[in-house]
């Protein structure tokens, strides 16, 4: 029972940090002169980054290229993941990093609280046109009150990855994993599902709930929020979507049992669920193809892009973005580094490093999925070649197909609250505590309350 | 001015030794006093100020908010839900913890040889970091393949989906809490060992059964310890955070029904996900008042139920 005091402790500690002093952001001595909201190409001083971890060859090569490009700036990295609690304490004491890598769902909240800077001037200084350089869906994620606050990095679209062995056993074809015919998919899920003693041993169709619930709303033509970032969770199309999600889960023994079954899977290991035939089809971000390639001789995957009920392919994705905190002491270096690290050159360097690693290990190059269409095209053209494994070649090609119509969660000052409210609605509805309509109605009330407390919400 | 006729004792200057001892005493307690001042008095006072402000974390400034933050708490149903969850947990966890600790302490008290080993074994979980305990319990509590349900199945019981069924989320946290019952056990064992043997011998001579001895001798004589544990465990239960956060919110994705959202978790979300520090501070003070009231009630009730040797009862 110990340790419960930690929350009170951190709140008062954060408060305490504000007792002392909160020096107005002072530019790094020697850093190029830049107005509080401005950026410059004259670079010097030190750049302190947070949340960016160059632990693999992709991140390392991008980081190296960007660091060379901002020379003579000295780059110092805090490689731990973005931690809002830590950031709040840093902001209160005026000691924020100059550049942060964060999940795009929190960009709207950070912008609403005035914690990060708009980046139009940064883009313009480096001749970058965001609408051309990045997927519009990724830009939408980092747009708040009509200003762009983040430089999008990755764009990992989701799709269904089928297990051909389980599918064949159940007499299901890849063409039948058609999300534009959701009612038929309930029967397909039931067909592939198998249980022993009331416990599942083969999961037919995993919708990745509640993680991917926003994508399924989009499949049904719904959305968690409108273009202004205002929650729209109780929209009738969303209710249809959640009702269908529940049907799929109930056809396979119910959400609770499925969740426990999934929790026991060796998702990243040699005995993953595709090796052990514990799954018929699952919803995954493109990155999972790379995980599966580690067991390429033991798995037989097939990639199926997700389609909306109107038959259009949907490439739903989240990802991270680089943001410049308002208290950054070296915003010019931060801006330059972020632009260089997400440039086509950086991604090509990353693609080359990945290709070399894959070749050395005899693995399969499943591609890099960035937030930049020209970078995606360049990397695919130069480095993603046929692997000789027909299943994986199909999987990689299907992944690239999803980029034809990229969509995302959207940006909002209450983005995290909307996401949490949706997840909660999905969980309570699947658990049978509330009907889908009631769950979404309550979620809408929660999200609206959070939205109304934001600066932009109060204004609206 | 001294009254006429009253004898005035001349004030004697403290000796050099006494002054030196006093100085040393103050020096010894200074670190604690400074810690208390900085980490408790000043920070709590500041959080009280913060609760009446709209605090802007970007500029480090606050604007007066009056009672707005407290009004928002009243109009937010999640505050009520999370408080309800927390009280439910406290009502379940505190008595179970104390009963189990008393049972284990009685068993340990009866062991002669090897009691030290068992004391250490029972206390070990208390020393295990909660993160490590949560990792183990994620496996133990799996509804399909977890060890707890596997054991239940041996007795023909189909165990619940502890971590996925909203009805079982709070009990699963209680189960994890009971894992570290060793702390209470050791305290109760110390109390049990202070009960004079002669009382039991006299009671046995008078024909009292073991159950009567337990109820008439043991319980009254360890009641101050039971009361102490009730107070501290209740306070800790009302502040529960880490168990719930680690079992259900560990990946930062709040894909969890409200059933697992405790007051401490919601407070954390308000402060560090929404950056609503004023509101979070108001929540902290509301919890402080609730704990104060519950503790006051417990103190009042204790007057009739706790036996102090040498006291009125």
Q: In sequence order, which residues have a C-beta less than 8 Å from that of residue B162 and are 6 or more positions away? A: B141, B142, B143, B146, B148, B149, B168, B169, B171, B172, B175
Q: Which of B129, B133, B260, B273 best tests the A interface by mutation, with the highest count of A CBs <10 A?
A: B273
Strand partners, A148: A143
Tell me the chain B residues in contact with residue A265 when contact means C-beta distances shorter than 8 Å: none
Q: Could you tell me the pTM of the whole model?
A: 0.82
**Tokens at B253, concatenated:** 């994705």
B/e letters for A137-173, b = 16+ CB within 10 Å, e = fewer, are bbbbbbbbbeebbbbbbbbbbbbbbbbbebbeebebe
Residue A362 lies in a domain: no
- A235 and A296 share one domain: yes
Q: Residue A433's closest CA among A242, A161, A181?
A: A242
- A116 and A238 share one domain: no
B/e letters for B243-274, b = 16+ CB within 10 Å, e = fewer, are bbbbbbbeeeebbbbbbbbbbbbbbbbbbbbb
Q: Residue A68's closest CA among A335, A336, A350, A325?
A: A336
* Regions in chain B scoring below 50 on pLDDT: 1, 313
Q: What phi, psi does B213 have (nearest 5°)?
A: -60, -40
Q: Domains along chain B?
A: 16-69 (no CATH), 73-305 (1.10.3720.10)
Strand partners, A321: A102, A152
Domain hosting A252: range is: 156-317+414-459
- A71 and A100 share one domain: yes
What local confidence, expressed as pLDDT, does residue B310 receive?
66
The ipTM estimated for the assembled molecules is: 0.78
Q: What is the DSSP string of A282-329?
A: EEEETTHHHHHGGGTTT--EEEEEEE-TTS-EEEEEE-EEEE-BTT-S
Q: Half-sphere exposure of A164 toward its Cβ, with a 13 Å CA cutoff?
A: 12
- A432 and A284 share one domain: yes
Residue A424 lies in a domain: yes
Q: How many domains does chain A have?
A: 2
Q: What is the DSSP string of B66-133?
A: TTHHHHHHHH-HHHHHHHHHHHHHHHHHHHHHHHHHHHHHHHHHH--TTHHHHHHHHHHHHHS-HHHH
Tell me the chain B residues in contact with residue A441 when contact means C-beta distances shorter than 8 Å: none
- A180 and A326 share one domain: no
**Tokens at A63, concatenated:** 């980081």
Tell me the chain B residues in contact with residue A416 when contact means C-beta distances shorter than 8 Å: 273-274
Residue A334 lies in a domain: yes
**Under a CB-based contact definition with an 8 Å cutoff, are residues A43 and B299 in contact?**
no
Kindly report, residue by residue over A286-334, the tens digit of the pLDDT: 999 999 999 999 999 999 999 999 999 999 998 999 999 999 999 999 9
In this complex, do B161 and A4 lie within 8 Å of one another by their Cβ atoms? no
Residue A20 lies in a domain: no
In this complex, do A264 and B145 lie within 8 Å of one another by their Cβ atoms? yes
Strand partners, A101: A322
Q: Which of B80, B134, B254 best tests the A interface by mutation, with the highest count of A CBs <10 A?
A: B254
Strand partners, A284: A159
In this complex, do B256 and A88 lie within 8 Å of one another by their Cβ atoms? no
- A135 and A209 share one domain: no
Tell me the chain A residues in contact with residue B47 when contact means C-beta distances shorter than 8 Å: 11-12, 15
In this complex, do A4 and B241 lie within 8 Å of one another by their Cβ atoms? yes
Residue A101: enclosing H or E segment and its boundaries?
strand A99-103
**Under a CB-based contact definition with an 8 Å cutoff, are residues A20 and A13 in contact?**
no
Q: In sequence order, which residues have a C-beta less than 8 Å from that of residue B73 and are 6 or more positions away? A: B79, B279, B282, B283, B286
Tell me the chain B residues in contact with residue A12 when contact means C-beta distances shorter than 8 Å: 39, 43-44, 46-47, 284
Minimal C-alpha gap between A344 and chain B (Å): 31
Of A302, A335, A350, which residue constitutes the final position of a domain?
A: A350
Minimal C-alpha gap between B215 and chain A (Å): 27
Ordered alpha helix ranges (H), A113-177: 120-125, 130-133, 136-141, 164-170
Nearest to B274 among A109, A211, A327 (CB): A109
How many angstroms separate the CA atoms of B44 and B57, rounded? 18
The residue written with tokens 């979070």 in the block is B280
Of A332, A350, A368, which residue constitutes the final position of a domain?
A: A350
In this complex, do A256 and B164 lie within 8 Å of one another by their Cβ atoms? yes
Strand partners, A286: none
The residue written with tokens 């009685």 in the block is B106
Q: Residue B53's closest CA among B285, B273, B292, B287?
A: B285
In this complex, do B273 and A416 lie within 8 Å of one another by their Cβ atoms? yes
- A133 and A203 share one domain: no
The total number of residues written for chain B in this structure: 313
**What are the respective helix, strand and coil percentages of chain A, to the nearest 5?**
45, 15, 40
pLDDT tens for each residue of chain A, 460 residues long? 444 444 445 444 444 443 333 433 344 443 434 444 579 988 999 999 999 999 999 999 999 999 999 999 999 999 999 998 899 888 888 889 999 999 998 999 999 999 999 999 999 999 999 999 999 999 999 999 999 999 999 999 999 999 999 999 999 999 999 999 999 999 999 999 999 988 899 999 999 999 999 999 999 999 999 998 999 999 999 999 999 999 999 999 999 899 889 988 999 999 999 999 999 999 999 999 999 999 999 999 999 999 999 999 999 998 999 999 999 999 999 999 999 999 999 999 999 999 999 999 888 999 999 999 999 999 999 999 999 999 999 999 999 999 999 999 999 999 988 998 998 899 889 988 899 999 999 999 999 999 998 988 887 7
Count of beta carbons in the 10 Å neighbourhood of residue B127: 10
Minimal C-alpha gap between B167 and chain A (Å): 9
**Tokens at A71, concatenated:** 């020379």
Residue A394 lies in a domain: no
Q: What is the DSSP string of B42-63?
A: IHHHHHHHHTTEEEETTTTEEE
Residue A197 lies in a domain: yes
To 10 degrees, what angle do helices B263-272 and B277-305 make? 160
Q: Which of B78, B126, B144, B228 best tests the A interface by mutation, with the highest count of A CBs <10 A?
A: B144
**Under a CB-based contact definition with an 8 Å cutoff, are residues A333 and A73 in contact?**
yes
The CATH number for A326's domain is 3.40.190.10
Query: Long-range contacts for A186-195 (Cβ within 8 Å, ≥24 apart)?
Result: A186/A244, A186/A247, A186/A248, A186/A251, A187/A251, A189/A248, A189/A251, A189/A252, A189/A280, A190/A251, A190/A252, A192/A166, A192/A167, A192/A280, A192/A281, A193/A251, A193/A252, A193/A253, A193/A280, A195/A253
What local confidence, expressed as pLDDT, does residue A21 receive?
37
- A218 and A294 share one domain: yes
In this complex, do B271 and A14 lie within 8 Å of one another by their Cβ atoms? yes
Cα A241 from chain centroid (whole Å): 21
Count of beta carbons in the 10 Å neighbourhood of residue B206: 9
**Tokens at A93, concatenated:** 């004491």
**Under a CB-based contact definition with an 8 Å cutoff, are residues A152 and A411 in contact?**
no
**Tokens at A134, concatenated:** 């990045």
- A199 and A287 share one domain: yes
Q: In sequence order, which residues have a C-beta less than 8 Å from that of residue B142 and are 6 or more positions away? A: A260, A263, A264, B149, B162, B163
Q: What angle do CA B294, B300, B302 make, to 5 degrees?
A: 100
- A184 and A98 share one domain: no
How many angstroms separate the CA atoms of A320 and A341, rounded? 13
Q: In sequence order, which residues have a C-beta less than 8 Å from that of residue A411 and are 6 or more positions away? A: A104, A107, A108, A140, A141, A142, A143, A144, A229
What local confidence, expressed as pLDDT, does residue B3 receive?
56
Q: Residue A331's closest CA among A61, A32, A115, A111?
A: A32
- A130 and A169 share one domain: no
Return the residue of B nearest to A25 by Cα.
B59
How many angstroms separate the CA atoms of B57 and A181, rounded? 48
Ordered alpha helix ranges (H), chain B: 16-35, 43-50, 68-75, 77-110, 115-127, 130-140, 147-154, 166-178, 182-193, 197-205, 210-213, 219-238, 242-248, 263-272, 277-305
How many angstroms separate the CA atoms of A199 and A30, rounded? 65
- A434 and A310 share one domain: yes
Return the residue of B nearest to A259 by Cα.
B164
Tell me the chain B residues in contact with residue A1 when contact means C-beta distances shorter than 8 Å: 93, 97, 177, 180, 233, 236-237, 240
How many angstroms separate the CA atoms of B108 and B114, rounded? 9
In this complex, do A256 and B130 lie within 8 Å of one another by their Cβ atoms? no
In this complex, do A7 and B241 lie within 8 Å of one another by their Cβ atoms? yes
Tell me the chain A residues in contact with residue B267 when contact means C-beta distances shorter than 8 Å: 7-8, 11
- Count Cβ–Cβ pairs < 8 Å, chain A vs chain B: 188
First to last CA, chain A: 44
How many angstroms separate the CA atoms of A434 and B63, rounded? 40
Q: What angle do CA A88, A92, A97 make, to 5 degrees?
A: 65
Q: Residue A87's closest CA among A50, A131, A36, A56?
A: A50
Residue A378 lies in a domain: no
Kindly report, residue by residue over B294-309, the tens digit of the pLDDT: 999 999 998 888 887 7
Residue A387 lies in a domain: no
What local confidence, expressed as pLDDT, does residue B258 receive?
79
Count of beta carbons in the 10 Å neighbourhood of residue A401: 16
């Amino acid at each position: 029972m110990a340790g419960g005091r930690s929350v009170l402790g951190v709140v008062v500690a954060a408060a305490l940090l504000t007792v002392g002093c909160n020096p107005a952001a002072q530019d790094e001595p020697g850093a190029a002169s830049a107005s509080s909201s401005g950026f410059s190409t004259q670079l010097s001083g030190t750049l302190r980054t947070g949340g960016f971890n160059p632990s693999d060859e992709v991140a390392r090569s991008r980081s190296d290229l960007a660091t060379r490009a901002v020379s003579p700036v000295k780059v110092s990295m805090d490689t731990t993941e973005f931690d809002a609690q830590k950031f709040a304490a840093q902001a209160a004491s005026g000691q924020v990093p100059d550049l942060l890598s964060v999940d795009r769902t929190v960009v709207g909240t950070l912008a609403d609280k005035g914690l990060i800077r708009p980046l139009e001037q940064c883009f313009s200084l480096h001749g970058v046109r965001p609408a051309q350089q990045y997927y519009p869906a990724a830009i939408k994620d980092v747009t708040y009150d009509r200003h762009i606050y983040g430089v999008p990095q990755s764009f990992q679209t989701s799709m269904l990855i089928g297990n051909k062995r389980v599918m064949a056993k159940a007499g299901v074809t890849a063409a039948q994993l058609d999300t534009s015919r959701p009612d038929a998919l309930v029967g397909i899920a039931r067909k592939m599902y198998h249980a022993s003693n009331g416990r599942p041993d083969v999961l037919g169709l995993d919708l990745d709930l509640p993680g991917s619930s926003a994508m399924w709303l989009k499949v049904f033509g719904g959305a968690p929020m409108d273009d202004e970032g205002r929650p729209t969770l109780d929209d009738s199309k969303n209710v249809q979507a959640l009702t269908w999600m529940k049907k799929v889960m109930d056809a396979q023994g119910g959400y609770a049992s499925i969740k426990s079954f999934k929790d026991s899977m060796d998702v990243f290991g040699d005995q993953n669920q595709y090796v052990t035939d514990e799954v018929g089809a699952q919803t995954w971000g493109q990155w999972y193809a790379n995980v599966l390639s580690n067991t390429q001789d033991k798995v037989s995957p097939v990639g199926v892009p997700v389609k909306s009920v109107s038959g259009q392919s949907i490439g739903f994705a989240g990802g991270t973005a680089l943001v410049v905190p308002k208290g950054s002491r070296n915003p010019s270096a931060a801006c330059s580094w972020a632009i260089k690290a997400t440039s086509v050159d950086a991604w090509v360097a990353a693609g080359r490093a990945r290709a070399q690693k894959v070749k050395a290990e005899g693995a399969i190059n499943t591609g890099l999925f960035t937030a930049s269409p020209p970078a995606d095209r360049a990397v695919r053209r130069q480095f993603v070649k046929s692997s000789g494994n027909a299943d994986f070649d199909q999987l990689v090609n299907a992944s690239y197909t999803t980029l034809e119509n990229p969509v995302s969660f959207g940006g909002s000052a209450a983005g995290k609250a909307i996401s949490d409210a949706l997840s909660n609605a999905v969980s309570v509805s699947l658990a049978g505590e509330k009907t889908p309509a009631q769950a979404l109605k309550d979620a809408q009330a929660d999200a609206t309350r959070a939205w109304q407390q934001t600066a932009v919400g109060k204004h609206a | 001015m001294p009254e006429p006729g009253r004898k005035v004792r001349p004030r004697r200057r403290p000796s050099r030794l006494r002054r030196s001892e006093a100085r040393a005493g103050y020096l010894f307690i200074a670190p604690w006093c400074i810690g208390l001042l900085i980490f408790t008095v000043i920070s709590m006072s500041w959080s009280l100020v913060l609760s009446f402000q709209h605090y802007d974390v970007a500029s480090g400034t606050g604007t007066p908010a009056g009672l707005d933050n407290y009004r928002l708490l009243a109009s937010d149903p999640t505050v009520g839900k999370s408080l309800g969850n927390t009280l439910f947990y406290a009502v379940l966890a505190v008595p179970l913890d104390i009963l189990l600790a008393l049972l284990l302490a009685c068993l340990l008290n009866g062991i002669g040889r090897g009691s030290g080993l068992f004391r250490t074994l029972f206390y070990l979980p208390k020393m295990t970091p909660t993160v490590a305990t949560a990792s183990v319990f994620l496996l133990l509590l799996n509804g399909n393949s977890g060890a707890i349900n596997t054991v239940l199945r041996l007795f023909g019981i189909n165990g619940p989906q502890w971590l996925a069924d909203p009805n079982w989320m709070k009990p699963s946290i209680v189960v994890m809490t009971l894992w570290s019952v060793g702390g209470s056990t050791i305290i109760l064992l110390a109390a049990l060992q202070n009960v004079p043997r002669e009382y039991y011998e006299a009671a046995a001579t008078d024909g009292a059964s073991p159950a009567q001895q337990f109820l008439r001798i043991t319980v009254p004589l360890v009641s101050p310890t039971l009361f102490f544990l009730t107070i501290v465990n209740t306070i800790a239960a009302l502040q529960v955070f880490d168990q719930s956060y680690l079992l259900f919110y560990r990946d930062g994705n709040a894909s969890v029904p409200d059933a697992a959202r405790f007051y401490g978790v919601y407070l954390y979300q308000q402060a560090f996900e929404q950056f609503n520090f004023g509101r979070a501070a108001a929540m902290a003070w509301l919890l402080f008042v609730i704990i104060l009231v519950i503790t006051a009630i417990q103190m009042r009730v204790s007057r009739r139920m706790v036996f102090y040797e040498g006291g009125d009862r």
